[in-house]
Chains A and B, each alone.
Chain A
Amino acid sequence: MIITLFKVSMRIERDQDVVPFRNRVKEYAVKIKMGIVNQTKLITAASELVRNMLKYAKGGEALIEIVTQGRYNGVRLSFKDQGSGISDIDLAMKDGYSTEKSLGLGLPGAKRLVDDFNIISNVGHGTTVVVIKWANG
């Protein structure tokens, strides 16, 4: 069972919100003594997901949590937007697929950088992405 020890939520509306959000994620990763490589992976994944939210849904809500499962501590990030949703998630998770002029690495790349990756999308209602990175994962 995963227990939340601490949580904070941030509104993401402009591209200037990305750096402060990343700094908060780093702060919590440092708090649970996550190693520098895992920290970098987590923050990079966070950056990709937050950027997706800005680009496709004009922003949304980002939740940072410190979670614990047994002996393991981790950071869980949830990104919730009210955008148009993703009609074909399998396609969106493919490397190099993008509906915008980007590299199409955001979702599949972020998935490779974290330990747990979940995406739920309702067309017309929005998308929620939840990722977990364990401190020693």
Chain B
Amino acid sequence: MERIPILKMGQVLLVTIQIDLYDRLALSLESDLVQMVKKTSAKGVLIDISAVSIVDSFLGRIFGNIASMCKILDAETVVVGMQPAVAITLIELGLPLTGVHTALDVEKGMILLNSNIETDVDTTDDLNEDDNYAF
């Protein structure tokens, strides 16, 4: 069966969707991604949709699901490279993709994810220091 490849780059999983997804492929991407997050302890997921010409309510819901599921597993999701026509259509359709981070391109998405991962590390450090003070 056809599958969308998931690449691991440091703490981030990178997915580039190069074809128009049919339903079953989108659903298997969803479960593959969530399992990969667990397996690789990834802190971020970056989905590049620059080659996707259509995002309908089904695919929009899949992106929302992926973001919520990864969030529970402590990973942030960023969708990057959306075409302007797709953004216009999504809003008119009534699907604002709430809960999904977006960035203009892969590079900006990576910066966003890395800054999130770094702040996470910082806050943990702060907590540890507080602990030390208590003792």
CB B8 to nearest CB in A, in angstroms, measures 28
A111 to chain B, nearest CB (A): 10
Stretch at the interface among A37-45, A66-74, A77-85: A37-45
Chain A at the B interface: SS class:
helix
B92:A105 contact, CB within 8 angstroms: no
The answer to whether B94 touches A22 (Cβ under 8 A) is no
Q: Is the CB of B22 within 8 A of A109?
A: no
Taking the complex as formed, is B85 at the interface, i.e. its CB lies under 8 A from any CB of chain A?
yes
Q: How many residues of B contact A (CB 8 A)?
A: 23
A103 to B83, CA, bound (A): 23
Contact between B94 and A105, CB atoms less than 8 A apart? yes
Asked if A27 is an interface residue, CB under 8 A from chain B, the answer is no
- Give the contacting residue for B56; candidates A36, A44, A108, A112; CB below 8 A: A44
Count how many chain A residues have C-beta atoms less than 8 Å from C-beta atoms of the other chain. 27
Inter-chain contact A105/B85, CB cutoff 8 Å: no
Residues 61 to 117 of chain A near chain B (Cβ within 8 Å):
95, 102-103, 105-106, 108-110, 112-113
Q: A22-B54, A37-B85, A44-B56 in contact; A105/B22 too (CB < 8 A)?
A: no
Using a CB–CB cutoff of 8 Å, the interface residues on chain B facing chain A are 20-24, 53-58, 60-61, 83-86, 88-89, 92-95
